[in-house]
Structure 1
Amino acid sequence: MKVMVMRPIFKPGETSNPDFVLYPYHIFHLRLFYKRLGRSDRVFDYFAYVDLYRLGAERGDGFIDLYEWDVEEKKVMEPLVDYEEAKMKAFESAITWGNSRVVSWWLPRIEIIREAQAYKVFWIFEKNREKFLMDSLEGKEFSLEKLVGKDGRKCKGAWCR
Structure 2
Amino acid sequence: MNRVKVMRPIFRPEIESGFVLYPYRIYHLRLYYKRLGMRDKVFDYFAYVDLYRLGAERGDRFIELYEWEVDEKVVMNPLVGDEEARMKAFESAITWGNSRVISWWLPRIEVVREELAYKVFWLYEKNGERLILDSLDGSEYSLDVLTGKGRRTCEGPFCR
Please say whether Structure 1 and Structure 2 have the same fold, judged by a TM-score greater than 0.5.
yes
Is 1:109 matched with 2:114? Answer: no
Corresponding residue pairs, total: 149
Quote the Cα distance in structure 2 between the aligned partners of 1:45 and 1:145. 41
Cα deviation, residue 74, structure 1:
0.5
Structure 1: which amino acid aligns with 2:93? A
**Cα-to-partner distance string for 1:34-90 (whole Å, 9 max, x where unaligned):** 000111110000000000011000000100000110000000000000000000000
Q: Secondary structure at the match of 2:146?
A: helix
> What letter is aligned with 1:88?
M
Partner of 2:85: 86
Percent pairwise identity: 71
Q: 2:65 matched to which residue of 1?
A: 66
The residue that corresponds to 1:3 in the other structure is 4
Are 1:99 and 2:94 matched, yes or no? no
1:150 partner letter: K
Alignment of 1:1-161 (within 5 A): 1-13=2-14, 15=15, 17-150=16-149
Give 1:149 shift. 1.3
Deviation string 1:7-57 (CA, Å, 9 cap, x unpaired) is 0000012x1x21000000000000000000111110000000000011000
CA RMSD of aligned residues (A): 0.8
Write the distance in 2 (CA, Å) between the matches of 1:56 and 1:97: 14
Q: What secondary structure is seen at the aligned counterpart in 2 of 1:105? A: coil
Q: CA deviation at 1:127?
A: 1.3
Structure 2 unmatched runs, 5+ = 151-160
- 2:58 partner amino acid: R
Structure 1 unaligned blocks of 5 or more: 152-161
Name 2:155's counterpart in structure 1.
none
The match for 2:156 is none
Q: Of the two, which has the highest radius of gyration?
A: 2
1:92-142 Cα shifts (integer Å, max 9, x gaps): 000000000000000000000011000000000111110010000000001
With structure 1 as the length reference, what TM-score do the two structures score? 0.91
